[in-house]
Amino acid sequence: MGGGIAIFWTIALFVLAGVMAVHWLVAGGELPFLDKSVTIHTEGFLHRTDDLLIVLACAATLHLLGLWDDARRLGPYFKLMVQFIVAVAAALLADVRVEMFIENKAITTALSALWIVGIINVFNFLDNMDGLSAGMSAIVVGTLLTAAVGSGQVFITGLGLLFLGAVAGFWVWNFPPAKIFMGDCGSLVVGFFVAVLSLRTTYYQQAQDGGLYAVFMPLLALAVPLYDFVSVTFLRLKQGKSPFVGDTQHFSHRLRRRGLSDVQVALTLYLATLCTGLGAIFLRQVNLIGAILIFVQTIMVLGIVAILEATGNKENH
């Protein structure tokens, strides 16, 4: 279960190193050889350092919560309470909030907290088979980074690349057959950073081409993980079970019962996520007709998932 420790501390140590480098070296003028294209961002970085450290503190809280849960198996409602506290703190103190042209701070904070907690649990649920949570989170963040780069968001791009590096280093050892696992101390952190990056990335700029529908880019990028989360939660509630108690009703388990190996299951889910992710990338560049076609394509991909699940049910009976 040590993979989650490696993921969190890789991100944390590089973030802290970056903060110290900017404060002690660049801000002090001790690195005159740096190009102006780099130093021009120093003031902006210093201005947002507090937000970055708050985000890191929130991730550390989730990491410690996950370590505790990995060791003692905490109750789901206690974990959910802590997740909401962390989500509200990130939204209020670090300005990790959905905007969507809503000016009411209470509404945006509530929506953001719900989104953060939801995505945390999406990737916690996905950590049910080798390679899934790490691989799919990397695909989603890679998709979102195209928007961050296109919008000129240097710091979000940097944080996203750091996340990809940490997760990819773990994924090499977690791809089936896994030699190491992330545990809750890793899956909670992974979900949190995906949520933060999805909220802080700019998808629509009035001066650029594209319509308001570009703000739905995270939903498309996360379509497959969200489908798994929603469908499994619905099935558990329908059966009178707690949605927080693990079982083998995930899409990945259904594919494996159909005869696919763990490697084939992982690759199938990667491909499905890449399909919706590619549509999400082009959402910022198309007109309304193109956007409708992308949404239809996403629904069709999820339809294939649903057909495979239904076929699995018939075989099980």
pLDDT in tens, 234-289: 888 888 777 777 667 777 887 888 778 889 889 989 999 999 999 999 888 888 89
315 — pLDDT class (breaks 50, 70, 90): very low
DSSP 178: P
Other C-beta atoms within 10 Å of 95: how many? Answer: 16
Predicted pLDDT at 35:
64
Reported as a single tens digit per residue, the pLDDT across 38-88 is: 667 777 777 788 899 999 999 999 999 999 998 888 888 899 999 999 999
Q: Decide: 175 and 131 in contact? Cβ < 8 Å.
A: yes
Distance CA 48, CA 155 (A): 9
Q: Decide: 131 and 176 in contact? Cβ < 8 Å.
A: yes
Query: Taking 50 as the threshold, does the pLDDT of residue 314 lie above it?
Result: no
State mean pLDDT over 211-223: 87
- Kindly report the three-state secondary structure assignment for every residue of 273-315: HHHHHHHHHHCCCCCHHHHHHHHHHHHHHHHHHHHHHHHHHHH
Residue 176: cis peptide before it, omega within 30 degrees of 0: no
* Helices 262-282, 132-150: inter-axial angle, 10-degree rounding: 20
Reported as a single tens digit per residue, the pLDDT across 136-195 is: 999 999 999 998 888 888 889 999 999 999 999 999 999 989 899 999 999 999 999 999
Domain count across the chain:
1
Q: Which residues contact 237 (CB under 8 A, 6 or more apart)?
A: 243
Distance CA 201, CA 192 (A): 14
State mean pLDDT over 95-99: 81
State mean pLDDT over 22-40: 65
Which one is predicted more confidently, 278 or 207?
278
Distance CA 166, CA 40 (A): 27
Predicted pLDDT at 296:
94
State mean pLDDT over 21-37: 65
* Residues 225-234: contacts with CB under 8 Å, at least 24 apart: 225/122, 225/123, 225/126, 225/136, 225/140, 225/273, 226/122, 227/251, 227/302, 227/305, 228/122, 228/125, 228/126, 228/252, 229/118, 229/121, 229/122, 229/125, 229/126, 231/309, 232/125
Predicted pLDDT at 214:
81
Distance CA 36, CA 58 (A): 33
Predicted pLDDT at 38:
63
Query: Taking 70 as the threshold, does the pLDDT of residue 34 lie above it?
Result: no
pTM: 0.89
Predicted pLDDT at 277:
93
Range of the domain at 287: 3-316
